[in-house]
Structure 1
Amino acid sequence: MSQTIQPTMPADWRDFYALTKPRVMSLVIFTGLCGMLAAPVSIHPVLGFTAILCIAVGAGGAAALNQWWEADIDAGMKRTAKRPLPAGRMDRTSARDFGVALSVGSVLVMGLAIHWLAAALLALSIVYYAWFYTVWLKPRTPQNIVIGGGAGAFPPLIGWVAATGHVTLMPVLLFLIIFFWTPPHFWALALFVQTDYAKVGIPMMPVVAGEASTRRQILIYAIVLLPLALTPWLIGGTGAVYGVSALVLGTAFLIFAARVGLRRTGENDAMKPEKRLFAFSILYLFALFAMLVADRFASVQGWLA
């Protein structure tokens, strides 16, 4: 961090809400809920709601700490310059204290209301994102988003463990699916905002390795993701509803990624393949996890028996 950005006006609740990165949190809540609902045992609705709330609050706390640390970086990027801290609507101390309060509170409630294994995983996910990724990885290596992708992969694992009380292969596979989905998803975004990252000195893959190398790696990760997403079905952890959906969605994802991976630098296209891939990657993850829950529901109801 460099110079302190002095607030020019008092922060209100909308600024604190913005610190939690609501759009990112929606995906966190959804995948966490899907992990919980796909688990082979049910959880009391009140406890389930509490667990998902803790996941959401913990993610919001980590996001606030991320923005506290990166306020000066955010100020130098067009995409993030209007966030509360770089825009001067909040002081850093308030953002830091807010992030710590949400993070600690969510872990304590998860431990006391659910169990301490889920709380430990939640704490690990917060530290992973707020410190390991934000402070250590992001400014040091172009592999930041690859290794840091684990931060966003925790919610379905935590949701599953909150319901069952233990870690098995299935939630680990859900973790790995998001882990391998993250690089092509985020690098697609980085390709069309790479000048922002270059300006503030963040070594994102397109800035360090170039566009051609980044596109090739996007395609490689998409190729790996397809069989990985099919693995829950192949090992018998899900049924045909999920399996067929994973095959169709994964094939579509691979086609979008191939258009990015095989695109030549400087090729003119008003609607770039990178933007199409980024948009579809979000739909892909929502749809894949929705089908995971639909498969579980169909199995419970005996529709596929």
Structure 2
Amino acid sequence: MSDTSIQTTGYEGEAQFGDYFALLKPRVMTLVVFTALVGLLAAPVPVHPFVGFCAILFIAVGGGASGALNMWWDADIDAVMTRTLRRPIPSGKVTGDEALAIGLVLSVFAVVFLGLATNWVAAGLLAFTIFFYVVVYTMWLKRWTPQNIVIGGAAGAFPPMIGWAAATGGISPESILMFCLTFMWTPPHFWALALFMRKDYDHAGVPMLTVTHGRRSTRNHILVYTILLAALTIVTAFTGVGGPVYLAVALVLNALFLKGAYDIWRRDENASEADNFKVERAFFKLSLLYLFAHFGAILIEAGLTRFGLGGWGLVGIGA
């Protein structure tokens, strides 16, 4: 549990706007906004631009609220991890109570106004996403099981479903597929990070797979999940959100991603730490491009569909 009295790292000073904004995890919010936007625009129901803007804004605020609540609860472990010790709470810029208040207020604001702007199905999904990320993942799974990122990854996979629901008022196989794409992508993405940041998780006592089962097991898991993810993305090409453009992107990106996973898998445990770090970090960076490119391809297919060119009708296969 977060302890607002934890020792800070000595950067105390008056909080600036940027410190409060950092509570919202803006880099994570970028992914939330983009995938939600794709879900909104890929939906078969047109949305008024102003309604669409409001929907994405409130989804982003909800994602930021989750980040603030996560930082409030995890302030103790953030203070001992190199990657996170400069965050607003451990650095002394923002107090835990402030983060808690900001997170709660923004959560209620985002859910209520998303419901008013679009529909209550989308608002309900956003509320559940916040609950899942903060309570199920942050408060429970993260410190309890090495499967934390597998199950907890669902929280980051909901935004395209929320965007789709904001447009259609419901859930469909297509929105579930977009959820599954992010859900299956999350484990290899974060396990690669855990490989080259293992000491951080060791010091913090977080039971990541690298800590509980070792590097070899983590490498095996990355390869298996990458193979399953590749199969899922190829199948998605032949659904309502796919098409030739998406298939081309999927084939290229999966070839690169599978090679990256294989390079990690075949690493010699006796190799230098610097060599391993280079391979794992490269895979982690590629994973970011991988997800953005797949959702970008879905967005392109949706745009082509608006002009009657999307899907496999573009090449005369099906209708």
TM-score for both structures, normalised by structure 2: 0.92
SS of the equivalent of 1:295 reads helix
Matched AA of 1:206: T
Residue 244 (structure 1) shift:
2.0
Residue 218 of structure 1 is matched in structure 2 by 222
- Tell me the amino acid that sits aligned with residue 114 of structure 1: T
Gaps of 5+ in 1: none
For structure 2, which runs of at least 5 residues remain unmatched after alignment? none
Deviations 1:86-126 (A, max 9, x none): 01111111110000011110000011111000000000110
Q: How far, CA to CA, are the matches of 1:43 and 1:133 in structure 2? A: 32
In the other structure, the counterpart of 1:175 is 179
Q: What percent identity do the matched residue pairs reach? A: 50
Residue in 2 that maps onto 1:284: 290
Give the secondary structure class of the aligned counterpart of 1:234: coil
Superposed, 1:183-194 pairs within 5 Å as 183-194=187-198
Q: Secondary structure at the match of 2:144?
A: coil
CA distance in structure 1 between the aligned counterparts of 2:242 and 2:190, rounded to whole angstroms: 28
- 295, 300, 305: which is aligned to 1:299? 305
Partner residue, 2:234: 230
Q: Could you tell me whether the CA contact under 8 Å between 2:198 and 2:211 is conserved in 1?
A: yes
**CA root-mean-square deviation:** 1.5
- Compared CA separation, residues 241 and 121, structure 1 to 2 (3 A): same
Equivalent residue runs for 1:196-211 within 5 Å: 196-211=200-215
| 8 Å Cα contact 2:42/2:241 also seen in 1 | no
Shift of 1:59: 0.5
Does the 8 A contact of 2:88 with 2:94 survive in 1?
yes
Mapped partners of 1:244, 1:129: distance in 2: 33
Distance (whole Å) between structure 2 residues aligned to residue 52 and residue 237 of structure 1: 20
In the TM superposition, residue 297 of structure 1 has moved relative to its aligned partner by 1.2
Whole-angstrom CA distance in 2 between matches of 1:174 and 1:89: 37
CA distance in 2, matches of 1:142, 1:85: 26
Give the conservation status (yes or no) of the 8 Å contact 1:216–1:262. Answer: no
Per the alignment, residue 152 of structure 1 pairs with 156
With normalisation by structure 1, the TM-score equals: 0.96
* CA–CA distance in structure 1, aligned partners of residues 201 and 287 of structure 2: 21
Q: Deviations over 1:11-30 (max 9, x none)?
A: 22111100001111111111
**TM-fit CA distance, 1:265:** 1.2
Matches within 5 A, 1:1-305: 1=1, 2=3, 4-5=5-6, 8-268=12-272, 269=275, 272-303=278-309, 304=314
